[in-house]
A and B are shown apart, each in its own frame.
Chain A
Amino acid sequence: MKSILSSAFLLICSFGLYSCETVIDAKLDTGPTLLSVEATLTDQPGPQTIRLTQTAAYFDSSPPPVVAGATVQVSDKGGRTFAFTDPDNDGYYVWTPKTGDTLGRIGQTYSLTIAYQGETYQASSKMNRVPAIDSLIFRKEKLNPLSDTEGYQAELYARDLAGATDFYRIRFYRNEVFQNKPRDIIVSQDGSFQGSADTDGLVFIRPIRQSPNPDSLYALNDVVRVDLMSLTPEAFNFWQELRTQITNGGLFATPPANVPTNVTNTRPGGPAAVGFFMATAIRTRTARVVPENVRQ
């Protein structure tokens, strides 16, 4: 809702061509280096990866410093354990399943343990349920109300699972390229926005259905892949806050804050960690922008 407000404000300001954003130099202090955990375990076949890095100075845009030599293990409540290893010391810790095996099971809770530099970090996450994407279609639309250029706007149809509050993330790929702009982080509660009506069990509301689109929309013959991922409420908060923090500016900015983490140091007072450990079930739909997938 805030983004609607900001765009309305922008509309007024841009009408007069008054406002402006300028990239400036700023000198910042640097805080202590912390362990950063990027861990998204899925129910999909194939290897599962956990990436460990360190925080860097804010303006340091080089690849983040690698954390090598950590011991990384995941276990579930059922007593299975999965050792993640990093033989080439690049910070990517991988578990490779035996043929036909998968790590993630819906409804199972997973725990992560990381031992690094004498500290032990822990996190846990449940793998929640997720509905299938029923269809992925396209419509010919203007890029935005101000534009004369047209493109193909994707719309996914899925129905929220009834009976409980569910949290989802939608991520999408254009011609196999992951769409990674801050505004491409899409999360949803019950197929709607958080803080809207109770949409439990409904078809995802239109703005969410139309969310997996780049600014330029799609072109004919593009291949579009959309992943619908289940989240825990905490992981939903993580993604929502991450998006807020990397798009936070202008008149209606909220106070910059740290994105919440679920990774804790088992030693009270020990160095904290950042990042998140999440388990997610994924349903995918891929469609090509061809006339049979285009609706009026």
Chain B
Amino acid sequence: MKHTLLRWTVALFATLTAVAGARAQTDQNTATRPASQANYTVSGYIKDAANGEKLIGVSVYVKETGTGAVTNNYGFYAVPVPPGIYSLVISYVGYEKQTRTVELTDKNVRLDLELKEEGKQLQEVVVSTQREDDNVKNIEMSVNRIDVKTLQRIPALLGEVDVVRSIQLLPGVSTVGEGATGFNVRGGSIDQNLVLLDEAPVYNSSHLFGFFSVFNPDAVKDVKLIKGGIPANYGGRIASILDVRLKEGNAKKPEVNGGIGLIFSRLSFESPLFKGRGSFIVAARRSYADILAQPFLNADLKGSKFYFYDLTAKANYRINDKNTVYLSGYFGRDVFGADFGFNWGNTTASARWNHVFSDKLFLNTTAYYSNYDYSLDSDLKRKPENADDYFRTNSRIVDYSIKPDFTLFLGKSTITFGGQSILHDFQPGTATAASAGTVRTFGLGSKYGLENALYLGNEQQVSRRLQLQYGLRYSLYTYIGPGEAYDFAQDVPPGQRRPPINTLTYTKGEPIKTYGNVEPRFAAKYELGDNSSLKLSYNRLAQYIHLVSNTTASTPLDVWTPSTNNIKPQIADQIAGGYFKNFGAVSGSGSEFEVSVEMYYKWLQNQIDYIDGANLILNKYLEGDLLSGQGRAYGAEFYLKRNRGVVNGWVSYTLARTERQVVGINNGDWFAARFDRRHNLTTVLLIDPPARGEGRVSRWNFSATFTLASGTPATFPTNRFQYEDFATPVVGGRNNYRIPPYHRLDLAATLQGRKRTGKRKDDNWVFSVYNVYARKNPFSVFFQPNADNPVVTQAIRYSVFATAIPSVTYNFKF
């Protein structure tokens, strides 16, 4: 049945491409046909007038017909209309609205536009960059966007603007605690988020464990988090998509941005290329805590290292009106070491080609490479006398992928279709040990997975009030050779290690196990009036690669594993419904207030868990230590946002639950997942003091965030027994307690530098305090014997930050 479906999808895909091509042809040929027969199309790119950045999500609205389009991720739009003369209204929050008259009487029109930012005095703060009343009008639900301007205003740890820490302030997003890698969306684990940097997945989005993320804010253009109603063009992870798009670089004039902070510094350079036909940006960061610390370290620690750096770069070149190419890359590394050491990092590269087939058919093809690797060394300095004794391990995951995505603009509907092919190359680990001069190398064999997908989606304006978005994605995954596959004993009591009973060897390219999944996607929006709408969505998602981690916070040394003959793909079904309303004064950039309520329920299949005492490192028979279970997550998210005013910002409250049920854990009863947080309240306030007097702008602005969340579940012991001198815990159920709640207030103030006439320089100082009232928020409560007397047992509260952390950062631009 699955094969029939695949064939069906392929056929549809082919037909659509053909139809699109034919239509495009027709449009070219029938330019002179009678008016009633043909539609003409106005299409083009929309850019920022100041720097030539293409703008994503700009609304292009035809007044006369009531139809329109939204620019796609590459800033392209197309609106087909019957012949005539039309007024096009182009609007985007934070930019001046434009109205253009377009004559579409006998041919298609190409209309590339540049939008000017609204005057700074009027609109110093843009909470988000999007269409007017986007939350109500857009069919997207469960989607949050943060633009860089907002990011820069939110008080940040050590003054460093951070994408991942900021999205944790959004409804439905949480984390197990400070310093933890990644984030949890609607009850999903951290590996269930597809984190994309210009369409290439990033396997570990963290620097310094989880304190900072790999995204350099100076190079980021747009951040979009999709938690539900995920369109058919996305797939491969089951909880969310974090789509981070990089800036293209200033296409008008060279620009330098930078910042000097307490923990690291940033510098970026962007410039036009080839007389404005292209542009590029290069951005770099390096932490220097180690350099500052050097004078204070004693001689033996002088050579110790703890730093990270990253380099983000992107270039684009417009070949002609129909073709543009983009190249993006990221390279970053964290290095730690004294005597021992380890380092980890991501490398991504993506090449994209935008092609406008006709005025209606747009193609983007992306090819990417993504690599995450780490290595650990027992003796970094390796003095000659130690050359006989060391220990070293390496692990990595590499993806190669190609992904064509078509968009066909038909006015009332926008059809998207395309596919993706990914080759996952896992090297779970190799180790070298040298002891007294003998060197031994040991490696787990590479594992390969081939993931293919085809999709077809349609966004359709059914009536003035009703809009639908529906689609189908078919994903087909094959675990392929070369390699060994194992069968494990099944007659083992639940929760215990299953020994291997059979080893099968496969040759290169030979399929070991294939899984296919039909993933339907559906979303509907019904406008109740001009200012409110109801939305509903359902999606099924499948995930074929899994992060193997049984620690509270994921470590950089966790390995990814593909779905195998023993590990089934993870599947999630989510339904979500929501009510969206705008109210308050309406101005050029939409309503003053936005409010929304969303509810969701999610079913999760084939969730990975671990036997007690699982051995996850360099274990050939890892699968024998894994358990499989199901999950459920549900909740309600309340969101209120004020878009402007002296005090603006948002309040978000999430009431949620996420649970797992695994045979072999907790007697097979449901238990709260480690990252379950019942209540989660966040408040982000941005304060823009009014200007004192005509023509003056306040140089100061302020911001505050407050977070209050339920403590995460924890497993506490009930009893103890003594073995030799060691008091050993006996535990009852999994996650039978909760640690105390988490709350924190952060404040920031920004002082704009004085503007000097004739000088392009723009600078500011950001002063911030993290954890203002120095709460010792528990990351965990754990139970241990006293270090000096193992017979005495005690409960210990562990706080990552136990104090207020002030900081100052200087940012400049010229």
Partners in one complex: yes
Binding site for B on A (CB under 8 A): 1-2, 4-5, 8-9, 11-13, 15-26, 28-31, 33-34, 36, 38, 53-61, 64, 142, 145-146, 148, 157, 178, 180-182, 185, 191-199, 202-207, 237, 240-242, 244-260, 274-276
Q: Which of B73-81, B232-240, B244-252, B727-735 contacts the other chain?
A: B727-735
A15 touches B790 (CB 8 A): no
Chain B residues closer than 8 Å to A22, beta-carbon distance: 776, 796-797, 799
B799 touches A1 (CB 8 A): no
Check if B669 is an interface residue, CB within 8 A of chain A: no
Check if B708 is an interface residue, CB within 8 A of chain A: no
Given A145-B300, A203-B436, do A56 and B729 touch, yes or no (CB 8 Å)? Answer: no
Q: Which of B347-355, B565-573, B717-725 contacts the other chain?
A: B717-725
Query: Which of B179, B211, B304 is most buried by chain A, counting CB atoms within 10 A of its CB?
Result: B179
Q: Of all chain A residues, which has the CB nearest B800?
A: A19
A55 touches B780 (CB 8 A): no
> In the bound complex, what is the Cα–Cα distance between A139 and B340 (angstroms)?
19
A31 touches B557 (CB 8 A): no
Chain A residues closer than 8 Å to B556, beta-carbon distance: 5
Tally of B interface residues using CB under 8 Å: 98
> In the bound complex, what is the Cα–Cα distance between A261 and B779 (angstroms)?
30
**A9-B209, A28-B717, A30-B718 provided; 19 other pairs, C-beta below 8 A?**
A1-B617, A4-B342, A5-B556, A16-B805, A19-B799, A23-B795, A53-B721, A54-B721, A58-B730, A58-B793, A64-B721, A145-B339, A191-B435, A192-B435, A197-B431, A198-B440, A203-B436, A242-B728, A251-B551
Check if B798 is an interface residue, CB within 8 A of chain A: yes
Say which residue of B619, B717, B801 sits within 8 Å of A19 (CB atoms): B801
Query: Taking the nearest CB of chain B, how far is it from the CB of A116, in angstroms?
Result: 15
> In the bound complex, what is the Cα–Cα distance between A112 and B317 (angstroms)?
78
Check if B325 is an interface residue, CB within 8 A of chain A: no
Chain B residues closer than 8 Å to A146, beta-carbon distance: 298, 300-301
B551 touches A253 (CB 8 A): yes
Chain A residues closer than 8 Å to B734, beta-carbon distance: 255
B726 touches A185 (CB 8 A): yes
A250 touches B791 (CB 8 A): no
B612 touches A257 (CB 8 A): yes
Chain B residues closer than 8 Å to A28, beta-carbon distance: 716-718
> In the bound complex, what is the Cα–Cα distance between A255 and B616 (angstroms)?
14
> In the bound complex, what is the Cα–Cα distance between A38 and B722 (angstroms)?
8
Given A17-B803, A23-B796, A240-B613, do A206 and B389 touch, yes or no (CB 8 Å)? Answer: yes
A182 touches B785 (CB 8 A): yes
B730 touches A257 (CB 8 A): no
Within 8 A of A (CB), among B540-574: 550-553, 555-557
> In the bound complex, what is the Cα–Cα distance between A36 and B732 (angstroms)?
16
Chain B residues closer than 8 Å to A30, beta-carbon distance: 718-719
B726 touches A202 (CB 8 A): no
Chain B residues closer than 8 Å to A256, beta-carbon distance: 715-717, 729, 731, 782-783
Taking chain A's interface residues, is the majority helix, strand, or loop, or is none over half, making it mixed?
Answer: loop
> In the bound complex, what is the Cα–Cα distance between A256 and B612 (angstroms)?
8
B618 touches A196 (CB 8 A): yes
Query: Taking the nearest CB of chain B, how far is it from the CB of A20, in angstroms?
Result: 4
Chain A residues closer than 8 Å to B795, beta-carbon distance: 23-26, 59
Chain B residues closer than 8 Å to A64, beta-carbon distance: 721-722
Chain A residues closer than 8 Å to B727, beta-carbon distance: 61, 246
> In the bound complex, what is the Cα–Cα distance between A1 and B784 (angstroms)?
20
> In the bound complex, what is the Cα–Cα distance between A33 and B721 (angstroms)?
10
Say which residue of A206, A237, A252 sits within 8 Å of B435 (CB atoms): A206
Q: Of all chain B residues, which has the CB nearest A274?
A: B721
6 CB < 8 A contacts A-B:
A145-B300, A180-B726, A196-B393, A196-B442, A203-B436, A254-B552
> In the bound complex, what is the Cα–Cα distance between A12 and B306 (angstroms)?
8
B718 touches A246 (CB 8 A): no
Given A8-B342, A57-B719, do A253 and B726 touch, yes or no (CB 8 Å)? Answer: no
Chain B residues closer than 8 Å to A247, beta-carbon distance: 784
Query: Taking the nearest CB of chain B, how far is it from the CB of A144, in angstroms?
Result: 9
> In the bound complex, what is the Cα–Cα distance between A207 and B391 (angstroms)?
9
Chain A residues closer than 8 Å to B610, beta-carbon distance: 254-255
Chain B residues closer than 8 Å to A18, beta-carbon distance: 800-803, 805
Chain A residues closer than 8 Å to B376, beta-carbon distance: 1, 4
Within 8 A of A (CB), among B701-755: 715-732, 734-736
> In the bound complex, what is the Cα–Cα distance between A168 and B756 (angstroms)?
73
> In the bound complex, what is the Cα–Cα distance between A12 and B717 (angstroms)?
30
